[in-house]
Structure formats: structure tokens, C-alpha cells
Structure 1
């Protein structure tokens, strides 16, 4: 009888594990001692289930941002290295969902079954990996789509005082992407719960949740989560961009994000600089926004368009954070309190606003029709100052003023009333053909309504101009 073989002896080896000790916990920050080789960006875990993210390394201590904090977290507990970088689950399962910066659901539904993990911090694409911005991204806003066009892959800053309509403008752009094949990520940073609930209600009411993921870090959350929120949203958009999709991400707003970063930096005893912000505040937003681009065809041709929002105080665009963001982005849309007070909505100051790239991405047909539109409108704004003092104008000047008032009426647009590109092209042709001149307010609105009904069956933008003229004449009578 053959004896069964002896079982293999267990291997004996040396296992080394770094275990640190928490020295202090306060205001979403933990100081950990005893982790000599831990790198910045690694996740730590304690026995009670709390998690922390290594944010700063001192000579003997690691300053960590708390991601999950239980009631039992206190000084003296042990922290172990996980050997993992901070990442978030990505995939189509996140469309229509509301999550926090760590990917946890906030909408009361089951956790989404994601298909991949994307690191929150990643390098921006190299120059050779990018293509020029050449395709338009229509926001549904008349002023932007004609005078300040945005291209897919562009970074356009929305700037202005509180109450001027920056968030409403961005929300309109998100809603307008419903039928444009663009996936949207809306990042809400430091907002009150009532504001978040109203935003979600508007998205649901306009069937915009199906193509949108909302990343929320409320005002009451830990400052670390508010700091991570835009990077989490960027990681989601980056995943879809590398898969060949066009994406639009809204950061609402980066002013509160900078304040959260300043709070974390001061708690971690970093040297304060101008306005108590740390010295790398510019690098914080530049490494975030540089990840938005138009990828080359070899990498799938996807794009990430960014609409960062930053508030100003008393219209001061030359303050610290706004000037940083202006220098990083490809243009800015400035919303004026004076126009808001005058009842001009959207309150976009055309003279201060600029789009440095979008003109190259504007559709040639629309670009041809609005060739002199910006110049005519700016000249009207200057001439209007003289008319307020009763200055007599010659017939040529009076015609310019009349055209300016017509443009002002055409640029007025209610909230959540986006206009498709076909309607923009239709009223531009009608304007240049003289079909909108001399109409009183109600008659002008009726003609615009007729053009909007025609836009559903309008010729393609690439169609000959004669086809557009014929379609406009059929609507306007003759």
C-alpha cells in the first residue's frame, strides 16, 4: 500500500507592514506618525473603518485629509497603509446618478456598478496627444453661440458677481446637450442643500439627468471632500473622453474650491501667501483645467469642455482667484450687475467677454451670418450713451441705434429657454435680409416664434444660403 504524499510545509518568510499612530484629529485633518515611507496621495485606513488621504509630508508626520470619519476616530488609534491611490469608479452606470466625490450614491439608489477605476489625480494630455479645437459646442444661449462661440475641448470661464446668473447659464448649457450627444458632469461645490435640490429638480424636469452625472460636496461636508469634488468630476469626464465621447463639465464654483483648499492648507500649517492662500493655488487650478482638451484622432477623438465658474466681489475681475483662472482658461463670459439691474437677461457684458478659440470652431454658415454682429452691437452700446443726454444724431447714427435696439431684443433670452442652432441660423438670416426691421415688440416675438417652429424642419446648416433665405421668406411672408 502506497502512503499518501506528505503535504508541503508552509513557507516561512518575513512580512513587513508600516503602521502609524494618530497624534491628533481636528476639522477634517489627522496627523499620523510612524509612516516613514508613505507617499503623498496614498490612502490610509484605521481599525474603526475611518479612511484618510495623505496630503502633506513633514519631517516625522503625515498630514492627512479625512475621507471617512467615524465617531470612534481619536488620537492613539493605528493607521495602516492600503497601498492604493485615490480613485473613483467610472462608466455609463453613473449617468443619471448623484454621487459624492468618492463615488458613493447620494440619490438613495443602489451603488452603481462601475466598469473601471479612474485616478482622481492624473497628468494632462501632452501636446502631441491633442488636436486643435475645431467643432462647436452649442450652449443654446444666443449671445454665446453667435458672439462668444465655444468649441468642444475649450475651457471657458463664467465670471461675475453673485446673482448675475452664472449657474443658470451653465445649467442651460447642460440641459441643451440633451440631443447633442454630449455627456455632462455637473460638480456642485460648497452649495446649500436647498440649492442642490433645486438644481436636481430642474435637471429632472427638463429630461437632462439621463445624460448627466452630478457630483455633490455640500457646504456641510468635510473640506477635504469639497477639495476633491472637481477632481472626481474631472476623472469621470476623462474616462468618457478617452473612450471617444464628447463631454461637458461644469465646476460650480472654483471660488469655493479655492477657499476649501486654503482652509486645508492653513490647518496643515502651510505658509500662507496672498489673501492667505498657499503659494501653489495657481497650480491647483491649472493642473485641473489642463486636463480638458480635444484628444487626437489616434486616441479616439474624444473631448472634454470645461465651464468653470468663479464669483467676483463688486465686479472686481482683477482679484486674486479670478485673474488666476482668466489666465488659465481660453476666454471668459462676464456677467454684469449693471445689465442685471437694467433687466437684460442673460446679463452678458459683450465688451468684457471673449472666446479665444471658439471662433475657429464656429460653424462657417453661422460665422458668415454674424460676421459684423459683435462690432455693430459694441458700436450701439457706445452710441447709446450719447442718446441718453439728448444728443441729436444723423440718419446713419440713428439707423445704427435702431439696429442695436433690435439686436438687444434678439439677445434677450429667458432662463431654461435654450435655442437650437437651426433657430440661431434662421434669425441671423432673417436679420441680415431685413425681415426683422421695424417690428414692435409683440410682432418681433411672434416672428421669432414662427422661425422657431420652422427650425424643426429647417435646412441643414451646410445647405446653400439660398435655401435658408427661401425658408425664412416662406415664414416671414414673401
Structure 2
């Protein structure tokens, strides 16, 4: 016997002593039917809802329908190698995802598997994708603002931390761009950003990721992707997985914002799965629980009370309409669940008014309480003035010469419209928004030619930093707009207007 013999023998004995001997229960079933991302399984009578099931070939699914004689399993992997008769094992665990700081700066799928080629992720824990929403007693009032850097949103439909604001509009009207711009604006804030792509084209997801990496603070972002080519099960769990990852930071007392792009495709996936598992269809073939699946998802966004740490989770779900029909089934459901909606109009978009926000149909049911006081003081009656301008503009198209007061309103309204235009992926600071609203409301832009307003807006940040640095610091630090601060801002903007007018070529 070799000198190492006794050591090897003692190690083997220790291993045998630690081994658990005796009978072992194994939940096993068989595939009866398989197709279109859904497997019907028999023999797993003890499986619970949303339990993870493992197939003999290594594939994974979860139990979605529990009938007395068989289980409807939604696949989370490809079904190419799964056949009728294959063995299926129950795990006793519900679908869960990794959470923690290690996910920041990563692109992952809904199960937490990396898609960015940066190696494996070592999570701090794994949490189930289905978690109860905070109770009323655990919530606090939504009073802290979320600065999106988008002028039309911050001035007219201000968002609060813990709010759920729906972004809704037709195809290709800038919904994703608006949401991504709101995430980019958090590059200097304390908010964690989560972007969830559900059923989106790869090119669309790539553009969103590139924008976040180029303009935002990607190291404080999580991008969760379940593209149009992904299994229906992955698309179905994606919003819930993203919400769980965001709740980790909320429950630690931090602040997070999640964009779900979009819930219309999620509802279509839910309908597909329901029909394949032979659930009873309802209106437009959606199952009866289509309202409930989105309600229980969005209710998890909340501002927690100080006793729970004071963290917040803000949700910006996206929904798509057909020909601007807000009364369709899914948009109506989501509007009734959320705390307001930002409606994007196709006509405005094609006219070049971007973001193409319809100020008449959009609303924030929390906004007045969360808007930064300094911005509220500067904006004043902006929304009313703009609404009156839009009505007057329609009437003046019929001809006739308006009187002096109406001409003044039309001039002011045109400047407001120009001020609300904004290039994509260029969110601006709070002080720039305040100055822009002051310029509009005080009539400073009335004498400036309309095409020059874009140049004024572009040159505003540098002009304020150069000529009104004390006012910039005062607004950033104290959030106040006293007479001296206002005078400094107006002075800097007057000099900028004079420069623009002097540089304008003579016709």
C-alpha cells in the first residue's frame, strides 16, 4: 500500500459518514404534448403554481396551469429537443431570479443569465418573481420629484418617486425614446435604472442600450432583454423579473425606476400562452385575468414609509395603441391601473413636434404635489396658456385677421411650442428648465424669431454657467427662485438673445 493509503481511506470513510442514506422522493412526470413553447405534462400531481420543472434534456419550464389530470408547463428554453414521452422532474421551487449590486451595468435575460459576454454573475440572493405588493400601511405619500430632463414632462406632467405613469401611443411615435431619455436623466441622480424589453426587435433593444451607454450612467443600470425571438415563457416572466430586481434596491432604502417596454406585447404573450394551455378566452380572445396580471405587477411600484426604509420604485410602463385608439382593451386597462398617462400623438410626431406629447389627453394624477417648487413657480400658467393657444390656432386657420390680444397669444403660444421641442437623448438640467420657462412666461422670447428658439435652447446651459453661475448654484442647492436669482437668469438670457439676434443674417 502506498504511503497515501491511510489518508485516502480516512477521507473515503468521512465521505460515507456524511452521505444521507435512505429513501428519496422524486417527483417525476412525462410529456404528453409539446409545441409552440408549451408542454402538457401528466404525473406531477404535487406540483404547485409557478414551480420550476426540469426536463431530461436540461430544458427548464414553469407550471402555469394546474388541471386535475395534467400540468400546463410554459417553456423557458427551446423546445427543439423535447418530445412526447420525455421525463420531467419537479423541483419544489418557484421561478426566482438573482438580485443585488452585481447586476448593475449588465445585460441579462429574465432568468439572470448574462447576454453581454462579461462572464457569470455572482448574485447576493435569489428572489421569486412573484412578490406581494406593499400594503397601504407600508406606503408613504408620493411627494419627491423624478426629474426626467424632458421639458414637456417636468413642466406639465411632473412625475414623483413611487408613481406609475403610463407612456402610450401608436407604433413609432417615440415611446421608447421618451422612456430611455428619462433613464438617461438619472445619470447624476441617486436612482437605479432598470430597462425591461419585452418582445422588442433586436435592433430596437440595441439602440436603447447604446443610448444608455453613451449618454447615461450605465454602471447604475440593469437591462433585461426578452426579445421577439425569445421563448414566450421568457417574455411572460420578464416584467416580473425586472420588478423583483428593482425591489431589491427599493427595500434597501434606495430609489429605482423601471421601464417596461412594452405591456401590449406582454398581454399578447399572455393571450398566446392562455390559448395554448386551453384556458377560456374572453374579450378579444384575452383570458379573464389579463387585467389582474398587470395590476398585480404595477402595484409593486411604491414609495415606502420611513419605517420600511423610505425607498421608492417608480414604474414607466409602455403600451401601444392602434390608430390612436385609447379605448382599446389593453390601453384602457393600463390607464385605469396607473397614476396617469403620457399620450404620444402620431400627427404631432410627423409634424416634427418631438416629444410628440398630446397635452390635452396626457395627465399626471400626482404631478402637482411632486413638481419641484422652483419649476412650478417658473412655469406658472403654462399649461393653460398652451391649451388656449392650440384652440386659437385652430380657429385662425379659417381666415380673418385676429386682434392684437389674440396675435399676442398666438405669438406666445408658438414660442411655448418651440420651447417644448427637444432633441432625443439630450435631457436638460432643472435650472435650464426653470430658465426656459421664465423666458417663455415673461415674454422674453416673443420678439425672437421662431427658428432661433432652438438655438436659444441649445446655447442656454453654457450661457447660464457663464453669466449666472450664482443663480445656477442657488437653484441646484436651495431649490429657490427669489428676485435676485430670477434677475440673474433673465439677464443671462437677455444677453444670449441679443447675441442670437445680432448673428442672424440679414434677409
Q: Alignment partner of 1:23: what SS?
A: strand
Deviation string for 1:448-471 (max 9, x for gaps)? 344312455314332342132122
Using a 3 Å threshold, how does the CA distance of structure 1 residues 44 and 419 change in structure 2: closer, same or farther?
Answer: same
Whether the 8 Å contact between 2:99 and 2:125 is mirrored in structure 1 is yes
Whether the 8 Å contact between 1:52 and 1:66 is mirrored in structure 2 is yes
Whether the 8 Å contact between 2:345 and 2:356 is mirrored in structure 1 is yes
Whether the 8 Å contact between 1:44 and 1:82 is mirrored in structure 2 is yes
Using a 3 Å threshold, how does the CA distance of structure 1 residues 446 and 72 change in structure 2: closer, same or farther?
Answer: closer
Post-superposition shift, 1:435? 2.5
Q: Return 5+ residue gaps in structure 1 as ranges.
A: 1-6
Q: Provide TM-score, normalisation by structure 2.
A: 0.89
Match of 1:48 in 2: 57
Match of 1:294 in 2: 303
RMSD of aligned Cα (Å): 1.9
Deviation string for 1:11-62 (max 9, x for gaps)? 8755433211111211111111111221111111123212220101111101
Q: Which moved more, 1:346-355 or 1:17-26?
A: 17-26
Q: Alignment partner of 1:89: what SS?
A: strand
Match of 1:214 in 2: 223
Pick aligned residue for 2:353 from 344, 347, 372: 344
How many angstroms apart in 2 are the aligned matches of 1:56 and 1:446?
58
Using a 3 Å threshold, how does the CA distance of structure 1 residues 31 and 455 change in structure 2: closer, same or farther?
Answer: farther
Matched, 1:327 2:344: no
How many angstroms apart in 1 are the aligned matches of 2:374 and 2:194?
30
Pick aligned residue for 1:86 from 85, 95, 98: 95
Match of 1:38 in 2: 47
Deviation string for 1:255-282 (max 9, x for gaps)? 1100011000000000111110001000
Match of 2:474 in 1: 460
Q: Return 5+ residue gaps in structure 2 as ranges.
A: 1-15, 496-507
Whether the 8 Å contact between 1:22 and 1:31 is mirrored in structure 2 is yes
How many angstroms apart in 2 are the aligned matches of 1:51 and 1:281?
24
How many angstroms apart in 1 are the aligned matches of 2:78 and 2:348?
46
Deviation string for 1:191-246 (max 9, x for gaps)? 12222222222222224322211110111111111111111111111111101111
Matched, 1:193 2:202: yes
How many angstroms apart in 2 are the aligned matches of 1:13 and 1:417?
65
More helix by share: 2
How many angstroms apart in 1 are the aligned matches of 2:348 and 2:397?
16
Whether the 8 Å contact between 1:255 and 1:310 is mirrored in structure 2 is yes
Alignment of 1:39-438 (within 5 A): 39-69=48-78, 71-438=80-447
Post-superposition shift, 1:180? 1.2
Q: Which moved more, 1:88-97 or 1:464-473?
A: 464-473
Q: Provide TM-score, normalisation by structure 1.
A: 0.95
Q: How many pairs align? A: 472
Deviation string for 1:147-198 (max 9, x for gaps)? 0101111111111111111111111111111111111110111112222222
Whether the 8 Å contact between 2:76 and 2:232 is mirrored in structure 1 is no
Deviation string for 1:45-84 (max 9, x for gaps)? 1232122201011111011111234654222122121111
Whether the 8 Å contact between 2:104 and 2:222 is mirrored in structure 1 is yes
